[in-house]
Structures are given as structure tokens and as C-alpha cells.
Amino acid sequence: MAHRARAVPGDPARQEVWFELAQFPRAEFTHANGQKLRIERTTVDSGGHLTDEVY
């Protein structure tokens, strides 16, 4: 199973960061064998000091 990571850098207190993150799970990728792949999971790192914005 291949894993692809993508970071959405920015301050989680800013709305545009959440907008960009919300668009990503809708993306579909094509594997080299032609199989279509979709996002199954996403995570957000709160940095420990932005938990109210993230949770």
C-alpha cells in the first residue's frame, strides 16, 4: 500500500487554511496501473497550542 502525504501549511486559526484542507479529500488520484484512488484519512497537527482551533 502506497502512502502519499501532503501538507497544508498555515495557521489553523485562519479560515483559508481550513478551506484548502476541505478541498483535498475530494481529490482523486490515478495510480500508475490506472486505478482511481481517493483520500481515506486526514490529520491536523495543532502544534499543542492551537487545540481550540483544531478540535
Q: What is the pLDDT of residues 38-54, one digit of tens each?
A: 877 777 888 888 788 77
The fraction of the chain above a pLDDT of 70, given in percent, is 89
pLDDT given for residue 3 in this prediction: 58
What is the chain's mean pLDDT, rounded?
81
pLDDT at 35 over 90: yes
Residues in the chain: 55
Query: Are 4 and 37 in contact, with CB atoms under 8 Å apart?
Result: no
SS3 29: strand
Task: Measure the CA–CA gap between 4 and 29, rounded to whole angstroms.
Answer: 10
DSSP state of 16: H
Dist. CA 15–CA 53, nearest whole Å:
10
Instruction: Please tell me whether the overall predicted TM-score, pTM, comes out greater than 0.75 for this model.
Output: no
Annotated domain spans of the chain:
29-55
